[in-house]
Amino acid sequence: METFQMLQKCKIFNDCLSILNDVYKEDGELRLALALNDCKERYRRDALKKLDPEMRLRIVRLISNVQLDKARFDPRSLFPSVITEEIINTLVADKKLKEKPSCEICHDTFNECADIIWKNCGRHLMHLECFKFRKGFGEMPLIGPCACIEEC
């Protein structure tokens, strides 16, 4: 939780990068993946670009594992939900989703390692920024009609 709070307070990328480097030096790749999961999306994506391709792939896989095993890594849903290609493929293969997901609000696809919000139905996703935008207008995008209601 301490690392999450420090990362959320970062106002510039270099401050975030310094924290991430310290985490990696002290605790290795899993802790780095957890810390990247906790970063603001723009810093997460910039930090991942700085990694060599092999390490980037390992870290993204670890982030995917963290997201797929939320019960173990984030049982209270305190930390950001992050989407990766591996998560999308797993959800489609498990038939939780019929096809590659798009945002329920803007209908655009998801970039790798983007922050997301799950609708309460558990089958539909939104970009975090789209959710915040709608919430700012007093809407409740987590609940209400969605495509899966027609399937019931």
Question: What pLDDT shows up at residue 150?
Answer: 56
Q: For residue 127, is pLDDT > 70?
A: yes
In whole numbers, what is the pLDDT of the chain averaged over residues? 88
Confidence of residue 149 (pLDDT cuts 50, 70, 90): low
Q: How much is the pLDDT for 146?
A: 65
Q: Residue 137: which pLDDT band, with cuts at 50, 70 and 90?
A: confident
What pLDDT is stored for residue 76 in this prediction?
83
Helices 29-38 + 13-27 axis angle, to 10: 150
pTM for the full predicted model: 0.82
pLDDT value at residue 116: 93
Is 50 in contact with 14 (CB distance < 8 Å)? no
Average pLDDT over residues 21-45: 95
Q: Where are the domains of the chain?
A: 1-78, 80-152
- Which CATH code fits 80-152? 3.30.40
Query: How far is the C-alpha of 97 from the C-alpha of 92, rounded, in Å?
Result: 5
Most confident of 33-42, 112-121, 132-141, 143-152: 33-42
The answer to whether residues 94 and 63 touch, using CB atoms and an 8 Å cutoff, is no
For the chain, percent of residues with pLDDT exceeding 70: 93
Distance between CA atoms of residues 120 and 97, nearest Å: 14
pLDDT value for 135: 87
Q: Average of pLDDT values for 1-6?
A: 90
Rounded average pLDDT over 43-54: 96
Coil, strand or helix at 95: coil
Nearest residue to 49 via CA among 35, 59, 63: 59
